[in-house]
């Protein structure tokens, strides 16, 4: 069974996908390769046999695959399982669960160690042919996600590569279980590196205990070689630089792999595979700066140039390379020397993968499998027998076609299929020819018929690839030529009427030649052009654009005139060359010599524009030329146009005699004749005839030699003249080519100036439109502001009216209780006062939301029913007035919110108006600058010194050349970074100011908190008397006169007390002044005594030092020790007294808290 199609029967060949899923990976196996699909199925190629193993279910999704030891393909599935399947038998050998989700890759080595990686974790497995055991996991605390994992050869260590270019070295653990979480320190080996660019793939070329050489596909589309030093302590922030750089793929590489011990392959996005020898990388390299690899690639193979994503996976097998693409295509191409055995068409076999679950279903499947195996063997035997029978029938009767082996129905179907194929081919050919005719007609109508002067060329007669093209001129380009003449005339009048130009010409014509003009404009058309500094108005821009267009047209017409002169000159030279070449051919025929040494000038058939749509037989492919009818070979001695017609006279060739000796010997002297007579037997007559023959032969030979020498001299002179004529054409052609370069430069200058003029117009129009849009927006916002201000006045009037009503209601509500004092039931002598105090308390509580309307049917405190009902009626009136006030407050709040919204909208629009005004003024200034801005064009010839005084860098060892656009970009980046840094500094200053204000606010609040705590402490110590309680409850009848009298009495007491204290302070101040005067006198006396004592002490110190110098110092040491002991004793006494004071203070606080319990709460809060 063939699930896919194979294109080709010899290497290279292609296998197109028919598996129902995309290809994941291809791996080299023993004597073949294994390609795995995303649905779990895989292909196994072994010599000339391809086996396709398919899963019984389509629900499996494969994330990644690898090949383990023992011919086991490992599948990392999306359902968090790891499956091991025997490649040859297709039987699932083991299955284990992966504890981590979102796994991305798996990697195995020859020892059966398997790595399964997710974005930030790595799981370890040990696999054999029977089982797979989990050895734990490790969490990788890295800066970015894990991208790749590669085993180091002959080691239990491996490299982990992250997306940011970081590389870590880890060791495979020796033991563990599924629940084991290894610490990072236990598995991390020496070596951590950070590459300068992220990578796509990595290959280890060489590894020792000191260094690891790796070849990577970098994200910047280069292939690079890095040396990873293992024992050297690397700086985490230092970026590792490559040794060598190779640009093998224009779009970057995708996969690296080994072909043999010293050769690798590199697959890329461009669909090419590059073969390189890396033997010189397999050693410890000396550190060098990054440089481009000068060694060329061994071979470059184009596999899939136009595929989506190029080659995504590849593997090397003996003599071939297997590549896969995103389209599900497998390409098998030959690499190096082909395999010993000739490749044959692959025999396809389809099998099913036997999963562990399917084996457990029962013993019925074993019988089915045995039946399928026997059936497959029978089919293979039938295929072999059919082949042998076919070979025997061909040996018996080779003329019997293979179609004779078909049944009549199959033959009829085959003939119908052939007829359909022929009809389809004819139809395709017909439409293909029709499309070609349509394309040719479109090219003629759009590219040829619209041209007044078509594109043509003049080629050299002597020098290969020396040719010059003219300038094609469309018919539409001359439509406005009269307008150009009028504008040039107007410019003349303007030049005569003005004293001079506004600006001097800042550029000079470096070539010093006068620009050519054509017949379309006057000779001074170049003088009519305006200076770039003068072109700043719209009218001048239009005039300058028209003048530049027709000036370029005039230059083209002038060059085309010279081109036509050269074409006519070459035509005359070619006619002379044709005549001389005919004479040379005739001379060579007379001499009987070949035409190899004859000079043949080169004639290009493309010089004739009529040959553009003519396809010669030489341009046809080989397979098409083989189908053309055979034509008799015609010898053309000269390739000059129409030379054959002149050499053939109406189809009849002239007979040209060869200049040679035509005298024949006598019949008897001809050795080839039957009448030959030997010399000894000849008669005297015959001897005389022979002597006469020899004399005539000598004379004829001399005459013929003279004629042949004359013909040779004539041939040489003709060839010399032909060469000189060809060289004269080439000389003029070279001059015309140099002139065409100058003309192209002038035309390019005109185009650049036209582009500058057009950009000036477009910028002016764009800026004016922006300026106008700003003005329109400002006007619209002004209208909206006018409406909003009117609305704001209406909202203010409505809010004020509501506020007036609310204040009137509140005033009425507040005056209700005093006004109701003279109304029943408060006028009752027995219960009036009590009810009045009750309704006052009820109103206060009702305002706080703590009281409800009393029930008229339930009197309180034995009030009469009539009085209670009147009391309840007053309560209801107060409640109604309170509710009306609340509703009015809500209405006023709504009006205030509406007023605030309109005010905020007005503020926003005013700010926007100011912003638009600033933008409008800035755009106006920008418009003025762009209008006066001028771009100048300077001609700089390569090699010409523009500034003699400029400093020249000859060796460029300490110089760096940069593009102007890069320098401008860097300057803009510096300015942007300066603006950003300035904004950041301002932001930091503002934040520091805010933090300082916050500290001040915290300090103020802490002070307020201390003040409030002090007031709270005073409130706790305040004694509330019975009189105060009655005053607070409102029941005591305390008159205002008594309160005022008490306050006056207290004021008198305070005044007396303060006056007494002031008198005491004055007396104390006078006493202190007297004491200060006494102390100053005492200080003067003490100062004099001090000076005397100081001199005495100094004298005593001198005497003591002199005495101590002669004494042993034992007394001095004893005194010093005594002083130290006394000081320590005093310090101990002071420390004990301090502890006693602290204990007494604690006891005083405890007694105060017991005496005044309210101090306990306040002191605990303030501590």
Q: Are 986 and 994 in contact (CB under 8 A)?
A: no
User: What's the chain's average pLDDT?
Assistant: 79
Angle at 396 between CA 391 and CA 399, to 5 degrees: 90
Residues 1003 and 897 in one domain: no
Domain region containing 1086? 1049-1102
Q: Is the pLDDT of residue 90 over 90?
A: no
Residue 522 has a pLDDT of: 39
Asked if residue 855 and residue 818 are part of one domain, the reply reads: yes
With 80 as the cut, is the pLDDT of residue 905 above it? yes
pTM, two decimal places:
0.41
Choose the final residue of a domain: 380, 402, 424.
402
Please report the pLDDT score of residue 236 as a whole number: 58
925 domain residue, yes or no: yes
| pLDDT at residue 238 tops 80 | no
Checking if the pLDDT of 629 tops 80, the result is no
What CA–CA distance (Å, rounded) separates 870 from 876? 10
- The answer to whether residue 58 scores a pLDDT higher than 70 is no
Cα(167)–Cα(193) distance, rounded to whole angstroms? 5
Q: Is the dihedral of CA 798, 800, 802, 804 positive or negative?
A: negative
CB atoms within 10 A of CB 818: 9
Q: Looking at the predicted structure, is the pLDDT value of residue 699 above 70?
A: yes
Q: Say which residue, 146 or 87, is predicted with more confidence.
A: 146
CA distance 900 to 870: 45
Burial classification of residue 187, based on how many CB atoms lie within 10 Å of its CB (0-12 exposed, 13-18 middle, 19 or more buried): buried
For residue 283, is pLDDT > 80?
yes
Residues 1132 and 1094 in one domain: no
Per-residue pLDDT tens for 500-541? Answer: 444 444 444 444 444 444 443 434 456 778 877 777 777 888
Domain check: are 864 and 927 in the same one?
yes
Whether residue 1098 is found in the same domain as residue 1119: no
Q: Taking residues 662-680, report their average pLDDT.
A: 77
> Among 1050, 956, 541, which Cα is nearest to 765's?
541
pLDDT for residue 596 is more than 60:
yes
Residue 1036 confidence (pLDDT) above 50: no
Question: How are beta strands 166-171 and 157-162 bridged, if at all?
Answer: antiparallel
Q: What is the mean pLDDT of residues 466-472?
A: 88
At 150, list the tokens.
Answer: 């590669």
- Model confidence at 756: pLDDT above 90: no
Give, as one character, the DSSP assignment of residue 285. Answer: P
Structure tokens at 404: 């004779």
Between 872 and 647, the more confident residue is 872
* pLDDT given at position 400: 58
Based on the number of CB atoms within 10 Å of its own CB, is 554 exposed (0-12), middle (13-18) or buried (19 or more)?
buried
∠ CA 1121-1124-1125, nearest 5°, is: 85
Q: What is the arithmetic mean of pLDDT over 309-324?
A: 84
- Averaged pLDDT, 481-497: 79
Token pair 């006493």 in the structure block, residue: 1071
Section 786-792 average pLDDT: 89
Range list of H helices, 341-480 = 356-359, 364-396, 408-443
What is the structure's pLDDT at 647? Answer: 45
Pair (1026, 1056) in one structural domain: no
Averaged pLDDT, 398-411: 69
1123 and 1098 fall within a common domain = no
Whether the per-residue pLDDT at 643 is higher than 50: the answer is no
Mean pLDDT lowest for which of 251-255, 298-302, 441-445, 1162-1166? 1162-1166
The whole-number pLDDT of residue 337 equals: 53
The per-residue pLDDT for range 372-394, each reduced to its tens digit, is 677 778 888 888 887 887 777 66
Model confidence band, residue 771 (pLDDT cutoffs 50, 70, 90): confident
Are residues 911 and 829 located together in one domain of the fold?
Answer: yes
Q: Give me the percent of the chain exceeding a pLDDT of 90.
A: 6
DSSP, res 638: -
Give the pLDDT score at 1111. 55
pLDDT number for residue 508: 44
Instruction: Report strand pairing: 291-292 vs 244-246.
Output: parallel
State whether the Cα torsion 891-894-900-906 is positive or negative. negative
Q: What is the mean pLDDT of residues 116-125?
A: 89
**347-352 vs 49-54, strand pairing mode:** parallel
Residue found by looking up tokens 């085993």 in the block: 151
How many Å apart are CA 217 and CA 150, to the nearest integer?
Answer: 14
Weakest-pLDDT range from 602-616, 733-747, 790-804, 812-826 = 602-616
Q: Is residue 189 part of a domain?
A: no
Rounded CA separation 510/519 (Å): 25
Is the domain of 1162 the same as that of 1132? yes
Which has more pLDDT, 1017 or 1076?
Answer: 1076
Quick one: tokens of 335? 């690499």
At residue 149 the predicted structure's pLDDT band, cuts being 50, 70 and 90, is very high
Q: Which of 917, 932, 947 is the last residue of a domain?
A: 932
- Do 1058 and 1017 lie in one domain? The reply is no
pLDDT at residue number 559: 92
d(CA 546, CA 113): 79
In a domain, 1020, yes or no: yes
Q: Count other Cβ atoms within 10 Å, centred on residue 460.
A: 21
Please tell me whether residues 819 and 911 are part of one structural domain.
yes
Strand order in the sheet with 166-171: 146-151, 157-162, 166-171, 188-194
Tokens standing for 847?
Answer: 């305002």
Does pLDDT of 214 surpass 90?
yes
pLDDT at 609: 75
Tokens of 938: 């300077």
- Given 1007, 1035, 1063, the domain boundary residue is 1035
Of 530, 525, 562, give the one whose Cα is nearest residue 544.
530
> Max Cα separation, the chain?
206
Average pLDDT over residues 317-325: 85
Q: Which of the four pLDDT bands, split at 50, 70 and 90, describes residue 565?
A: very high
Q: Are residues 815 and 894 in the same domain?
A: yes
Task: Report the domain count for the chain.
Answer: 5
Stated as kind and residue range, the H or E segment containing 574 is helix 538-591
């Amino acid at each position: 069974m063939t699930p896919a199609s194979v294109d080709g029967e010899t290497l290279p060949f292609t296998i197109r996908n028919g598996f129902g899923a995309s290809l994941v990976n291809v791996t080299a196996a023993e004597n073949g390769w294994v390609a795995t699909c995303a649905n779990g199925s895989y292909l196994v190629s072994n010599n000339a046999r391809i086996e396709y193993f398919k899963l019984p279910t389509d629900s499996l999704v494969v994330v990644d695959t690898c090949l383990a030891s023992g011919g086991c393909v490992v599948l990392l599935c999306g359902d968090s399982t790891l499956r091991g399947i025997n490649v040859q038998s297709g039987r699932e050998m083991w299955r284990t669960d992966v504890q981590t989700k979102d796994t991305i890759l798996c990697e195995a080595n020859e020892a059966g160690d398997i790595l399964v990686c997710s974005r930030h974790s790595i799981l370890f497995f040990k696999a054999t042919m029977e089982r797979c055991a989990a050895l734990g996991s490790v969490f990788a605390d890295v800066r970015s996600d894990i991208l790749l994992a590669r085993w180091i050869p002959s080691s239990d260590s491996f490299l982990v590569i992250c997306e940011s270019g970081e590389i870590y070295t880890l060791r495979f653990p020796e033991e563990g279980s599924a629940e084991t979480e290894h610490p990072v320190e236990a598995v991390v080996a020496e070596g951590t590196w950070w590459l300068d660019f992220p990578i796509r793939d990595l290959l280890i070329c060489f590894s020792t205990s000191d260094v690891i050489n790796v070849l990577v596909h970098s994200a910047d589309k280069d292939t690079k070689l890095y040396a990873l030093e293992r024992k050297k302590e690397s700086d985490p922030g230092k970026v590792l630089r490559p040794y060598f750089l190779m640009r093998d793929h224009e779009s970057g590489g995708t996969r690296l792999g080994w072909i043999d011990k010293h050769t690798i392959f590199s697959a890329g996005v461009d669909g090419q595979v590059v073969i390189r020898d890396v033997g010189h990388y397999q050693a410890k390299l000396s550190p060098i700066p990054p440089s481009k690899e000068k060694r060329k690639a061994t071979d470059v193979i184009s596999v899939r140039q136009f595929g989506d994503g190029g080659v995504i996976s590849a593997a090397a097998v003996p003599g071939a390379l297997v590549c896969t693409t995103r389209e599900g295509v497998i390409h098998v191409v030959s690499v190096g020397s082909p395999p010993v055995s000739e490749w044959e068409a692959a025999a396809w076999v389809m099998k099913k993968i036997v999963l562990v679950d399917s084996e457990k279903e029962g013993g019925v499947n074993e019988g089915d499998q045995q039946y399928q195996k026997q059936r497959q063997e029978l089919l293979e035997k039938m295929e072999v027998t059919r082949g042998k029978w076919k070979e025997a029938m061909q040996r018996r009767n080779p003329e019997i076609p293979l179609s004779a082996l078909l049944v009549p129905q199959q033959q009829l179907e085959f003939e119908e299929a052939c007829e359909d194929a022929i009809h389809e081919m004819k139809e395709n050919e017909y439409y293909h020819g029709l499309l070609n005719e349509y394309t040719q007609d479109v090219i003629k109508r759009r590219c040829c018929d619209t041209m007044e002067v078509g594109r043509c060329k003049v080629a050299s007669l002597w020098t290969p690839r020396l040719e010059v093209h003219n300038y094609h001129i469309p018919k539409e380009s001359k439509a406005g030529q009269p307008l150009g003449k009028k504008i040039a005339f107007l410019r003349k009048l303007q030049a005569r009427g003005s004293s001079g130009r506004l600006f001097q010409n800042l550029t000079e014509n470096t070539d010093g030649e006068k620009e050519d003009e054509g017949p379309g404009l006057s000779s001074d058309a170049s003088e009519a052009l305006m200076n770039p500094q003068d072109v700043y108005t719209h009218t001048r821009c239009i005039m300058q654009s028209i003048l530049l267009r027709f000036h370029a047209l005039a230059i083209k017409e002038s060059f085309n005139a010279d081109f036509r002169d050269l074409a006519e000159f070459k035509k005359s030279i070619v006619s002379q060359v044709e005549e001389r070449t005919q004479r040379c051919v005739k001379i060579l025929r007379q001499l009987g010599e070949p035409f190899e040494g004859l000079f043949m000038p080169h004639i290009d058939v493309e010089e004739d524009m009529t040959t553009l749509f003519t396809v010669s037989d030489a341009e046809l492919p080989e397979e098409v030329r083989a189908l053309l009818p055979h034509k008799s070979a015609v010898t053309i001695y000269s390739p000059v146009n129409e030379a054959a017609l002149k050499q053939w006279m109406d189809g009849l060739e002239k007979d040209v005699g060869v200049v040679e000796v035509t005298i024949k010997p006598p019949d008897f002297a001809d050795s080839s004749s039957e009448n030959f007579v030997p010399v000894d037997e000849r008669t005297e007559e015959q001897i005389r005839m022979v002597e006469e023959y020899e004399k005539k032969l000598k004379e004829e030979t001399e005459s013929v030699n003279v004629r042949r020498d004359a013909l040779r001299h004539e041939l040489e002179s003709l060839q010399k003249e032909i060469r000189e004529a060809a060289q004269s054409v080439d000389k003029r052609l070279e001059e015309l080519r140099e002139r065409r370069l100058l003309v192209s430069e002038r035309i390019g200058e005109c185009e650049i100036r036209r582009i500058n003029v057009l950009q000036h117009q477009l910028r002016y129009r764009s800026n004016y439109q922006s300026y106008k849009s700003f003005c329109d927006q400002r006007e619209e916002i002004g209208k909206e502001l006018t409406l909003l201000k009117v609305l704001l006045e209406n909202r203010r009037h409505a809010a004020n009216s509501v506020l007036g009503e609310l204040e009137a209601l509140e005033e009425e509500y507040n005056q209700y209780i005093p006004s109701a004092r003279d109304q029943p039931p408060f006028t009752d002598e027995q219960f009036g006062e009590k009810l009045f105090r009750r309704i006052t308390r009820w109103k206060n509580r009702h305002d706080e939301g703590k009281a409800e309307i009393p029930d008229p049917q339930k009197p309180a405190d034995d009030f009469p029913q009539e009085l209670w009902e009147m009391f309840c009626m007053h309560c209801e009136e107060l409640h109604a007035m309170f509710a009306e006030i609340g509703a009015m407050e809500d209405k006023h709040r709504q009006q205030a919110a509406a007023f605030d919204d309109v005010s905020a909208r007005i503020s926003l629009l005013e700010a926007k108006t100011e912003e638009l005004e600033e933008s409008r003024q800035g755009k106006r200034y920008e418009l003025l600058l762009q209008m006066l801005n001028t771009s100048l064009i300077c001609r700089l010839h390569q090699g010409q010194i523009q500034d003699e005084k400029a400093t020249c860098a000859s060796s460029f060892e300490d110089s760096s050349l940069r593009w102007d656009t890069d320098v401008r970009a860097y300057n803009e980046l510096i300015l942007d970074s300066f603006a950003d840094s300035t904004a950041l500094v301002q932001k930091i200053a503002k934040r520091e100011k805010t933090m300082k204000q916050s500290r001040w606010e915290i300090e103020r609040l802490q002070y307020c908190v201390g003040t409030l705590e002090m007031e709270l402490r005073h409130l706790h110590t305040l004694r509330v008397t019975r009189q105060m309680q009655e005053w607070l409850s409102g029941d005591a009848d305390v008159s205002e006169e008594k309160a005022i009298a008490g306050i006056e009495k207290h004021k008198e007491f305070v005044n007396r007390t303060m006056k007494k204290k002031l008198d005491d302070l004055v007396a104390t101040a006078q006493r202190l002044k007297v004491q200060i005067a006494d102390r100053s006198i005492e200080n003067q006396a003490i100062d004099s005594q001090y000076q005397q004592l100081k001199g005495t002490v100094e004298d005593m110190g001198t005497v003591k030092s002199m005495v101590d110098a002669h004494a042993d110092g034992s007394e001095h040491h004893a005194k010093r020790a005594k002083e130290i002991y006394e000081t320590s004793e005093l310090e101990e006494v002071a420390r004990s007294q301090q502890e006693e004071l602290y204990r007494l203070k604690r006891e005083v606080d405890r007694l105060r808290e017991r005496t005044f319990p309210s101090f306990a709460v306040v002191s605990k809060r303030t501590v």
